[in-house]
Structure 1
């Protein structure tokens, strides 16, 4: 029949909707070379057609769909979307741009013309019941996901159920391999199959993958149903351990001086930075969830390894967040040395964002705890950092005392380079109060010590303003 129409010059669009397999679709596709066919499927099918992947809707398009669907059902007088833009934004965010979820949300609102959008937003806020609420008559988000999940074999289903354990927005193939405790190339094939089934989405760069927010909830549900929790706990432990050890290796490249040995996990500093850039959200989230998932060791190990990177990239909010968790974890564990280091690193982060009073409080805690643990070198560094913060609030006399303490401790420890740094800071504090002769003496001493330490940069710039030092006991 289609061929007959084609011979008459009549073009027809054939829509083959929601095909499950290529075998189901192929007999229905026209072969006359004139008739056009549009085939839709939850899976990427090999039928010799041009592929068009339909992405989720962005926020403006999601709001437009919600408005249009609601006004189509209730008429143009229904202005609930435009009347409460904040609630409309909350609804579309909770639907995460999924057209099916948005249509269901619009249907639920159309059913109750007096229901405010804020009411629906509140109903969808709770994660464990969100999928239950996104259903109406014969439409349900969970049912749509079920159709794809039911096609998975045991290996694919197991990996799919593990993916929500990743704490951040996406994950690499390498991270997924640690989750699954399997060969990376095998896991890569499984991930590609899951992407063809549209249960996960390829990232913007190769070898990264992400779960739609609602699919993540669905996968987590499937994992919780009749599954021994120990296998998920073991998978999470492998993943967090991967993040912790690899971050430490990357940090080693960022801190290494010329000629120093570096970890073999990366070929150089640039590769380490690239990995940290890609994983930053996962690493910060890993610190955030570590205690609550029974991994306080990760909450203690990851933050110090992130400090140099977060400072380099100027991610101060992340620095404050991770150092605060590090501090609290060490305090609960009664680990005074780690708590002192966390207080110091938190103080340096506060100093960077010009929260000087908070920085002073944090650095005083660090100094006192290092004194308690008899870590004289770290105590001296905390004194010097405290002096720099005190100068910022014009407490110059206290700053001079702090830098003098730092200098004297480093001198007693015969640490020439750190003594030079403290002497330099002391000279700057003397300049602040016009005690120029003493400033000249301090800077002269700093220059000599920098020469002995073979620090040519310090020799050339004995009066430069130092940054606070982060500490890693």
Structure 2
């Protein structure tokens, strides 16, 4: 069958003969079947639960309950898929779960062991659960382009993926049931540690295990594992003075390890006859023991300890420690690890990350109260300057140097900023580093905002778009850009305020919160007259057009995209011209102007070929294919979709490859080309499998 080439007014929707042949069914299907997909990442089963300490305290009864719960679940004697381990801070909840996972479950749970410390993602008491689920999805092999935007969709995908393979999920520092429920796998078990009982989870059939202080027998057994002599029952006295708290006993053990000439009686005398003091709520304070541990550290390590008391966020790397002025950062970090006051944190990026136990961190905050404010401010300012520069470098690595930015490029190279540690070498590694630093950077933004370092705030916000947009961390983006807007106002920068409002509007747009996006865009629109660079106006018009397109107002979208196009033409931004021409074509397609949409996309494609903007070609090819399909030009539609698929595959653009194959399958279906349709559907299943998405999702 030949193609129908009439104008748009003479086109009938899907006017394709039932026995149409698309460029020879064997030829086109063969091209699909021979399409080389981007190489899937190595299939690594996550094992993220922290490794247990070598000095584990044998909680035989509690371990027994965990083992019994697992046995009952596997034998079908219980349907419970949640275990809550609760107890006061310093009781060893995480260590108990880590010991159980390492000792009993190493070969179990084929879906893997996932772990999250909810304290790292807590913002003003609340946890970005959506971000936690997104992290789990990436760990399970889901390509970032296939991770949905909203919590509900992410949770549904997470449960679909884990439904077919038992998965262990461990979450530390949960405060309420609502933080836990979305993290329950489709098949397997969730173990949550908490200082609270999380009683509401009883309605979900949760098993509750309460971890209390060590009794004398278990405590003495732990003290004797230090291989010290125990004259006159001093170990039992020490356990009583420490209130049976494992964390306190560990700190005493480290204090003695640094004083080999002393014994248990000396530790007893150091603690005094009353032992650890009591807090107002009747619980035991470990500060007296931590004071002993802190004083026993070398001076550089004490400086690092104090730094934890000042710094926002929960983890540090060697580069941050060095930037803050701590000499021999690696040795200081090693001292805290050896003293069991800190742990190494698993992350997907290059550098080693260190985190203090939460009670040790609380003690560090007490210690620094006695340090002069000038020392604190100098350390924070140095860290803020360091992070602003490194985040800017990461932004350039991820989005390229050609992106329009209001801030000047960093004055120091990445090698100058991090002479002893390589943080990232390319865009993919830079994105992983940004993601690993996400909680720290948002906490730093809060500190900088409170300190009125307004330039630091908006510069960080501008650079963090590389992370927030790429990884869809919309909750973080909203909080950050609200601060960025106010910082811009205090700094008297209308141009910055426009960019901050536009980036905030994009987060709302991605979440489908179009009214809120419109409010931010309207406020930015009031500043258009003060925009010295036309690209700022173009950005606002583009986002307004995207909202209009989502709201099914294609004519409004076309008008706004055209304005954005003209703004990019005025500044000579070739890439921007191609992008906005593509957007105009999308609006024409949504408005059912098929011929005009095809011609506009073709014009943009010619510009992209001429300027070497190859990444835009698959997008434009998809628009061309859809327009041609509506025009009844079946063979050309199939060829455009096929070419877009090949271009997307060559550039590892998973989402665009998925779209192109989907369009080609639609064309094949309307032409009743069963061979081609089957080839497309098979390739789509292969692609989604490689992208970690179950068939039918994403």
Q: Same fold (TM over 0.5)?
A: yes
Matches within 5 A, 1:51-450: 51-53=54-56, 60-63=84-87, 91=196, 132-133=279-280, 139-179=284-324, 181-183=325-327, 186-204=328-346, 207-225=352-370, 227-256=371-400, 264-265=414-415, 266-450=424-608
Give how far 1:157 is off.
2.8
Whether the 8 Å CA contact 1:448–1:459 is kept in 2: the answer is no
- Provide the C-alpha distance between the structure 1 equivalents of 2:539 and 2:622, rounded to a whole number of angstroms: 17
- Over 3 Å counting, the alpha-carbon distance change for 1:280 and 1:99 in structure 2 is farther
* Cα separation, partners in 2 of 1:52 and 1:337, compared to 1, 3 Å: same
Aligned in 2, Cα 1:64/1:379: closer, same or farther, shift over 3 Å? Answer: closer
SS of the counterpart of 1:61? strand
Change (3 A) 1:423 1:192: closer
Q: CA deviation at 1:398?
A: 1.9
- For 2:214 and 2:528, the matched residues in 1 are separated by 55
- The CA deviation at 1:448 is 3.7
Q: Which has the higher helix share?
A: 1
Q: TM-score, normalised by structure 1?
A: 0.66
- Distance, in Å, in 2 between the alignment partners of 1:55 and 1:211 is 23
Equivalence map 1:26-41=2 (5 Å):
none
Distance across 2 between alignment mates of 1:422 and 1:221: 54
Q: After superposition, give the CA deviation of every residue in 1:289-340 in whole Å (9 maximum; x if it has no partner).
A: 2211343232111111111122222222222222222122112222101111
Judged with a 3 Å threshold, the aligned counterparts in structure 2 of structure 1 residues 55 and 272 are, in CA distance, closer, same or farther, namely farther
C-alpha deviations, 1:43-70, integer Å up to 9, x for none? xxxxxxx94245999983325999xxxx
How far is the alpha carbon of 1:218 from its aligned partner?
A: 1.4
**C-alpha contact (below 8 Å) 2:317/2:352 kept by paired residues:** yes
Q: Which residue of 2 aligns with 1:125?
A: none
Contact 2:88 2:212 in 1 (8 A): no
Bigger mean CA offset, 277-286 vs 53-62: 53-62
Cα distance in 1 for partners of 2:427, 2:448 equals 27
Q: Structure 1: give runs of 5+ residues left out of the alignment.
A: 1-49, 67-84, 108-129, 466-473
Tell me if the contact between 1:255 and 1:308 (Cα under 8 Å) persists in the aligned partners: yes
Q: Measure the CA separation in 2 of the matches of 1:280 and 1:220.
A: 22
* Cα-to-partner distance string for 1:145-196 (whole Å, 9 max, x where unaligned): 22323323544333322222221121112212222x134xx22222222333
Q: Give unpaired runs (5+ residues) of structure 2.
A: 1-52, 67-82, 91-175, 178-192, 199-209, 216-239, 245-276, 403-408, 416-423, 624-698
